[in-house]
Structure 1
Amino acid sequence: MSFDENQFHDIADAFLDSLFERLDEQIGDHADVDVEDGILNIELDAGGTYIINKHAPNKQIWMASPKSGATHYEYKEGDWIGTRDDADLVKRLCEELNVTLS
């Protein structure tokens, strides 16, 4: 999907805000979850931090994970899909955090 920078920010911000709300509800008792200025931080009580942020120049979402390292995602058909492995960002994050977000 091709979109301009403003559309990217609208889509990415809505995604990050929604993901924040779902994560805070699901794992808020086991992690400090915060989103600010297009950066979602998930600091796990058991150790480890996830950082999920917008990367406007490439119109991507980037994730730094203590388990899978750095990954990049492009918006395709309503989902953020990995640029290297076609993995769905939300599914990968859920598997790593061992939670189901609905």
Structure 2
Amino acid sequence: MSLDDSRFNTLADDLIEGLADAIDEALGDRLDADLHGAVLTITIKGGGQYVVNKNGPMKQVWLSSPVSGAWHFDYADGDWISTRAPKVTLDSVLAGELEATFGVRVEF
């Protein structure tokens, strides 16, 4: 599915805002989730930082993880799918890593 700029921005903004809300709700006392514009920075108290942002020209959402490195996700079939592992979604990567770190499953 090819996204026009407006649809991409709406989907990406909704995703990033939803991630911020869910993470803050589940783990707000253990990390800082700061949303500025379309950039979500998740700083783990004691070290480590995730960054989730959108890349308009590529129509992708990018995740920088202190655990697994850089990920790029395309929107397809109602989800954000990894460009390096086609069966992996952004929410599964982020939820899995946060659960491994904190022992709490974040539902996106």
- TM norm structure 2: 0.90
Distance in 2, matches of 1:36 and 1:54, equals 12
Distance in 2, matches of 1:100 and 1:92, equals 11
Distance in 2, matches of 1:50 and 1:24, equals 13
Q: Give the secondary-structure state (helix, strand or coil) at the position aligned to 1:100.
A: coil
Pairs within 5 Å for 1:52-67 = 52-67=52-67
Distance in 2, matches of 1:36 and 1:2, equals 27
Q: Give the secondary-structure state (helix, strand or coil) at the position aligned to 2:57.
A: helix
**Post-superposition offset of 1:6:** 1.1
Pairs within 5 Å for 1:1-102 = 1-86=1-86, 87-98=88-99, 99-102=105-108
**Post-superposition offset of 1:100:** 2.9
Amino acid aligned to 1:35: L
Question: Is the contact made by 2:22 and 2:106 (CA closer than 8 Å) also made in structure 1?
Answer: no
Task: Return 5+ residue gaps in structure 2 as ranges.
Answer: 100-104
Distance in 1, matches of 2:64 and 2:95, equals 14
**Post-superposition offset of 1:46:** 2.7
Distance in 2, matches of 1:50 and 1:82, equals 16
C-alpha offsets along residues 50-102 of structure 1, whole Å, 9 cap, x if unaligned? 00000000000001000000010001111111001121110110110102315
Distance in 2, matches of 1:18 and 1:62, equals 15
Distance in 2, matches of 1:2 and 1:30, equals 38
Amino acid aligned to 1:74: D
- TM norm structure 1: 0.95
